[in-house]
Amino acid sequence: MKRPRKFADICAHLGDDYDFFRGAVVPPIYQNTTFTRKNSDHGYSYTRVKNPTTEVLEKKLAALECAEAARAYSSGMAAITSLLFSILKKGDHVVTLGSVYQPVVHFLQNEMPKFGVETDFINDGTPEEFEAAARPETRLFYLESPSSNVFKIQDLKKIAEIASRRGILTAIDNTWATPYFQNPLKLGIDYVIHSATKYLGGHSDICAGAVAGSAEKINALFESGMYSAVPDPFASWLLIRSLRTLELRMIRHGENARRVAEFLSGHGRVKKVLWPGLKTHEGHETAVSQMSGFSGLMGLVLDTDYRNTSKFIKNLDIFEEGPSWGGFESLINSPGVTDNEEYLNFTTIPQGLLRISVGLEDVDSILEDLDQSLKKL
Ligand SMILES: Cc1ncc(COP(=O)(O)O)c(C=O)c1O
């Protein structure tokens, strides 16, 4: 296939350069650091700078995000911190939500001030809040829609318009939606970030990250990429393998999640379900205007105390308890399940919050599992 254009075609075939890779249907793993150049000028010298396997991955990621270029990293956090270090300088100011992925909050709060960069954290992430928090020295609006744990939706187009009017850059963590459900660059955002450890990898066996954007912006990162935390070529190869089924997996995650969200929100022992695909979600209308579907991570608060909530987790069979999300397996995590008053006063995480990552299992098995455990409450 010469020019894959549709999402599934890009997933399946982009980067399959049969001439370059001697007819191999799967691009090989270039598991080497050094490229010799006495007899040919092929443009490769050192894997941290450029590696043919990682290059295939970067082309695929760029095409999926409707970007001109992408840069792969060894983790989502490596992608985020490299981007921040690359585009921010002493005296710059950042605006973001207090509910973005907590290590990012920590990094902006505790590490970036050492380099003279200040951050303001806003609550809901409305365009008005971003505009009100902006200063003459604001360099970046950092978004994550929906944001971690509380699932706040941000209006990407409106926030990008405010930013561009004021000469401010915009970046978004698009890990939750994946490029299958949301393409922020098309809405005017400058940089799209991924933790590929989640849905892009999808098999809970790869730690990787990416940043996508215009060729000019990503090439500027390539210069700073001299100092980058790049993925190991084997991780790049595994991720290329994973991306071949991204569309299929996201359709299934989305369908399973909808059934689970509807079941839970109609259940008497469930107080709250946080999933932007539900009409009752406060950001639903905005979400529908900028996303074509919804993935499988959702928040849930039971109508009971923390002891019973812990019992609910223990009584589940299909759902294992653990961190991370976006893999083939259904997982449950309990970021708000504690009776520690000090923690609850300090955190933005709602009391009793459970986080469910709906996997690829049969949806009836998933629903039966949740139902039997809720009945034991
Ligand atoms: C929304 C979000 N962004 C970024 C990250 C960081 O990704 P990684 O674990 O690949 O560094 C995570 C990890 O959980 C996440 O949930």
Q: For the chain, state the CA radius of gyration.
A: 21
Q: Residue 86: which CATH number?
A: 3.40.640.10
Report if residue 2 sits inside a domain: no
Residue whose Cα lies nearest atom 14 of ligand 1: it is 324
Atom of ligand 1 nearest to the CA of 100: 1
**151: its two tokens:** 């699932």
For helices 246-265 and 363-375, the axis angle rounded to 10 degrees is 30
- Is there a single domain that holds both residue 219 and residue 294? no
Report if residue 263 sits inside a domain: yes
Task: Answer whether 338 contacts ligand 1 (Cβ < 6 A).
Answer: no
Q: Cα separation of 81 and 76, whole Å?
A: 9
Domain boundary (220, 243, 266) is at 243
- Is there a single domain that holds both residue 238 and residue 250? no
Q: Which residues of the chain have pLDDT under 50?
A: none
Residue whose Cα lies nearest atom 10 of ligand 1: it is 76
The domain tally of the chain equals: 2
The model's pTM is 0.97
**193: its two tokens:** 């970030």
Measure CA 235 to chain center: 17
- Is there a single domain that holds both residue 252 and residue 318? yes
Report if residue 1 sits inside a domain: no
Domain boundary (243, 278, 308) is at 243
- Is there a single domain that holds both residue 233 and residue 298? no
Range of the domain at 212: 7-243
Residue whose Cα lies nearest atom 6 of ligand 1: it is 76
Task: Answer whether 357 contacts ligand 1 (Cβ < 6 A).
Answer: no
- pLDDT of 229 reads 93
- Is there a single domain that holds both residue 216 and residue 314? no
Atom of ligand 1 nearest to the CA of 78: 11
Mutate to test the pocket of ligand 1, among 197, 200, 325 (most ligand atoms within 8 A of CB): 197
Per-residue pLDDT tens over the stretch 81-134: 999 999 999 999 999 999 999 999 999 999 999 999 999 999 999 999 999 999
Task: Answer whether 175 contacts ligand 1 (Cβ < 6 A).
Answer: yes
- Is there a single domain that holds both residue 234 and residue 263? no
Atom of ligand 1 nearest to the CA of 323: 14
Per-residue pLDDT tens over the stretch 178-200: 999 999 999 999 999 999 999 99
Domain boundary (209, 225, 243) is at 243
- pLDDT of 222 reads 72
Residue whose Cα lies nearest atom 15 of ligand 1: it is 101
- Is there a single domain that holds both residue 224 and residue 349? no
- Is there a single domain that holds both residue 203 and residue 286? no
